[in-house]
Structure 1
Amino acid sequence: MSVLPDDVERFVRAIGPEPDETLREMDAYAEREGFPHVGPEVGAFLRFVARLADAERIFEFGSGYGYSAYWFAEVLPEDGEVVLTEVDEDELDLAREYMAAGGYDDLARYELGDAMATVDRYDGPFDVVLIDHQKYRYADAFDAIREKVPVGGVIVADNAIAAGPIEFEKLLAIAEGETPEEVNEHTRGIADYLDRVRTDPAFETIVLPLGEGIAVTYRVD
């Protein structure tokens, strides 16, 4: 569920770029199956970030059925690359179908299995990284990809404000320097990730209230 009020979300969607037919099919799939995808507002932002970064290579920690990868692929050069990682074979097969339908199959590398194991097999640089897997592993994902992101590169983490198990009041308390009791691992994972990227002098981070909240981390040094 988006953290934006419904009317504001509709406004952002109306002003943003129009999804193509395949993306509309992917949105319909998410609604029909109850799949927690990032949605067109965040998808358009991801594409915008990749465009600003002049991205040639992109890595995703968690790709589902390829929704975010599809948005990314639209701005990659012909020799670009987006690495999709997914533990669910059926979802990855569906991602392949959608990417092929959009004409982006040649840009995609499909990796079945744990993203944390996959990233070790890839050398950098990656101009844009999306972190959207288990929340308690976000900080580990940052550590794994940190040295593979060049100056000017961007890391985007989804669910920085909300998701089913995230306790926002406790997340806010932690951000403001308090120590709430009984914080679940998902909330703690997001809090640890935000602390990690905010305190790393090589990066600058902001959080934007799009979708369920996205943390945008830019490499400055």
Structure 2
Amino acid sequence: MTVPDDVETFAATVGPRPDGVLREMDERAEATGFPTVGPAVGGWLQQLAGFVGAERVFEFGSGYGYSAYWFARALPDDGEIVLTEIDADELDDARQNLAAGGFEDIARFELGDAIDIVEEYDGPIDVVLIDNEKDRYVEAFEAVRSKVPVGGCVVADNMTAGPFSFEEIHRLVVDGGDSVNDMATGVAAYLEHVRSEDAFETTLLPLGEGLAVSRRID
């Protein structure tokens, strides 16, 4: 399930205003079909980083830097946003986009597998965005969980839609059914995993294609 366009537009209108760089990235996404979280969710990522008082954000999968740009707008001048990407061309585009917004001093760009890369970063990591291969979401969570301090949060995209239908993920999570879609199965396994974690409290933010927000409470 995706949020109706009019609701998504309303949420984006109420939320933080995008600047010229973000508008250009939105135009690129619309023209090419490149998947981004969109401005309504982007505004929430910026807000979440502000709520947490984040100083470091780490992304599992960054594309051309769209979500990272929203995060960067909430970080202090001595903060850090770590972008990871397996596509070198997309990472180069992300570097250009973050620089265009004046965030080159706080952005770190890592080419390769984010699950390997995160091992190089000691905590604390205040906010994490998981948006890599859906069947590796649990692996990504386990790779970073010990670095997230109490009060920090792990955000995972594509909880209600994306490479599968809402009906399929609903059947898996709510009804306990089966699926032949590995990506839907991976998301369902992730939700079951984080919901069973006593140290994290998880809620669903039903904007875009659905975000699971897991706040560390212990």
TM-score of the aligned structures, taking structure 2 as reference length: 0.97
Is the partner of 1:75 in helix, strand or coil? coil
The residue identity in structure 1 corresponding to 2:197 is D
Distance 1:173 1:149 in 2: 31
Select between 165-174 and 48-57 the one with higher mean Cα deviation: 165-174
Please tell me whether residue 200 in structure 1 is matched to residue 213 in structure 2: no
1:62-211 aligned at under 5 Å gives the runs 62-163=61-162, 165-180=163-178, 182-211=179-208
Match of 1:216 in 2: 213
1:10-49 aligned at under 5 Å gives the runs 10-49=9-48
The 8 Å contact of residues 56 and 79 in structure 2, kept in 1 or not, is answered as yes
Select between 119-128 and 48-57 the one with higher mean Cα deviation: 119-128
The residue identity in structure 2 corresponding to 1:73 is A
Distance 1:104 1:192 in 2: 35
Distance 1:148 1:206 in 2: 20
The Cα shift of 1:173 comes to 2.2
The Cα shift of 1:177 comes to 4.7
TM-score of the aligned structures, taking structure 1 as reference length: 0.96
State the number of aligned residues. Answer: 218
Is the partner of 1:161 in helix, strand or coil? coil
Is the partner of 1:205 in helix, strand or coil? strand
Distance 1:25 1:170 in 2: 33
Percentage identity across paired residues of the two chains? 58
The residue identity in structure 1 corresponding to 2:214 is T
The Cα shift of 1:63 comes to 0.3
Select between 5-14 and 122-131 the one with higher mean Cα deviation: 5-14
Is the partner of 2:105 in helix, strand or coil? helix
TM-align CA RMSD: 1.1
Distance 1:6 1:177 in 2: 27
Is the partner of 1:106 in helix, strand or coil? coil
The 8 Å contact of residues 131 and 158 in structure 1, kept in 2 or not, is answered as yes
Distance 1:3 1:177 in 2: 20
The Cα shift of 1:168 comes to 2.6
Is the partner of 1:126 in helix, strand or coil? coil
Distance 1:5 1:179 in 2: 26
The Cα shift of 1:169 comes to 2.2
Distance 1:183 1:206 in 2: 26
The 8 Å contact of residues 158 and 210 in structure 2, kept in 1 or not, is answered as yes
Is the partner of 2:58 in helix, strand or coil? strand
The 8 Å contact of residues 171 and 187 in structure 1, kept in 2 or not, is answered as yes
Q: Structure 1, unaligned stretches of length 5 or more?
A: none
Deviations 1:98-137 (A, max 9, x none): 1011000110110001111111111111000000111000
The 8 Å contact of residues 170 and 183 in structure 1, kept in 2 or not, is answered as no
Distance 1:210 1:128 in 2: 18
The residue identity in structure 2 corresponding to 1:40 is P
The Cα shift of 1:167 comes to 3.8
The residue identity in structure 2 corresponding to 1:218 is R
The Cα shift of 1:88 comes to 0.5
